[in-house]
Structure 1
Amino acid sequence: MTISTPLQARISAIGSYVPSRILSNTDLQTMVDTNDEWIVQRTGIRERRLAADDEFTSHLCIAAVQNMLTRYPASLDQVELIIVATHTPDLPSTPVACQIQAHFGLPETGAYDLNATCAGFAYALHTASALVAAGVHRKILIVGGDALSKITDHTDRSTCILFGDGAGAVVVEREADQPAFLAHHLGSDGSGGKHVYRTGLSTQWLGTPLTGDGKLVQNGREVYKFAVTTVPQGIQKLLEKSGLPQTAIDWFIPHSANLRIIESICEKSGIALEKALYSLEYYGNTSAASIPLALDLGITEGKVKAGDTLLLYGFGGGLTHAGLIVRWG
């Protein structure tokens, strides 16, 4: 396989946000037939954050961008495009990206939402890095955010124990001297879309009748099988494309779906679990927000440092998956 040419782009800023309301495993014991030990053993999740009744994806995303702006005051200067990865927009026909553009008053800025569910942030990062490296845009704001509590059936213990709300934002801009995007790999398996979905205008997937009344429905066993087979294969392809040995990866940041999935992926890939960064323990599965939340936790905790090589990998509904190897800082 030919080694990829690094893309002349880098991540220059990051911010994140989670709501203040906490839904603990103990709280869930009063809602469904479950307990803390059962949830932790099967998922690794102890708490998740839930948006307030009047708080939606746009609010989460705007707060994440504001957090980034506080830490990197010039991060929004000359931004030309906003891409929001989400599958829970406030309104079906109005992009969350447009609400961000209006809130921050960014002039002459394109804006659109991208839906690749839990792989959305990785897809958006790939899109932005390619556009910047190609010279189409100089600076792009990416936000991954989801308000999954709005579409979760809190009487279904198979799903309500998993999902939380949050958002993470990054800026991608031109970098010619030390290109930071070293490799990418994308894929999908549309035949598996029936295994994780929510109904909308249609209640069918390729002719298969679906249920759920607009709430998240997931076949956990099938999603597990997809992730633990597909992601290790994708990791191998990323390493081949980058020309890097596995030992060159400082941190592995997968979608924080479930700790058991992450453990299996690490075992099959030969990556030490100690190198995995995840945000699920206290935030739950936050879909498109989980990777930037985990990255920002790694940075604020002093784990991720300038020059570190990161392997990011998202996977989710569709079924979709996407991975990148990126040098931080």
Structure 2
Amino acid sequence: MKTPVYLQVPRPRPVSRRIAVLGLLSALLAATGCRERTAGGYQGYLEAEFIYVGAPLAGRLTRLAVTRGQEVKAGDLLFELEQTSEAAAVAEAEKRLAQANARLDNLRKGRRPTEIAALAAQLQRAEASLRWAEADLERRRRLLRDDVISAAELDLAQAQRDADAAQVESLRAELETARLGAREDEIRAAEAEVAATAAALERARWALDNKHQIAQADARVHDTLYREGEFVTGGMPVVSLLPPANLKARFFVPEGEVATLRIGGTVQVRVDGRPEPVPATISYVATQAEYTPPVIYNQENRAKLVFMVEAVIAPADARVLRAGQPVDVKVGR
């Protein structure tokens, strides 16, 4: 697209002067106009898709581990927020889970061996008392037949024997229950308590883990948005990253030639300062046409552009490119 130049002509001029003005206008257009494509290619620029990294929870920024322009690897620490309360919550949840597990184990095991042994001893004493009561009842029955004792004394002996028999049955049932452990409903309630405390621990660990963020892929630090000591609201980005895969060439093709391009096609991207072009693959072709952008970098005004460089050169092609650089793109290998 050519940059428009507006001239005010207040009144008719002689033909010779008019020709001179037209010549001057042509010179200005030639000097400032923009070519939409270079010989055998198209002009465009490098577009970056930044990744903004923040924490879902709020807190004071205690450590900023990266600086602008730094190259980071996947897993490298980016920043940390204060985490005193989250660490305390994790410790409390771990202790609660340990208590819940101990209670569940205790219910499943039943009573302690010493308690079971005490119940067994009580049962033995009760069985011995029952045997004595049965023998005494039989003696009193013989004495009643001989009219030695009254019927009331026999009734007392019978009542004692029945009481001892009930005591034996009660202790046998209690001993069996002690050996079986707690009831099923008590065990289910204890299991639910363990599950709830485990979920609380998982939630506390998630909060603690999210108080520090790491790089998910190799990238360059584009910018840092907070300083150490500042309070960061939950969800606000602290660091912006630019992975090499998120840098792409954006160029503009005339309407009459767009039909020749296909998704997956190969293009050659040439950047100032690099002797060899960089290969690239077409990933998107617009579905609607648009007017030529008002600013297109041409060979003349490109020399006037300057870029602030804050990073060392890395081996990979994408790592040496910068967002906003003008490029020349040629289709094909």
TM-score relative to the length of structure 1: 0.18
- Larger helix share, 1 or 2: 2
Q: Which has the higher strand share?
A: 1
Q: Which is greater in Rg?
A: 2
TM-score (norm 2): 0.18
Structure with the larger RCO, 1 or 2 (CA within 8 Å, 6+ apart):
2
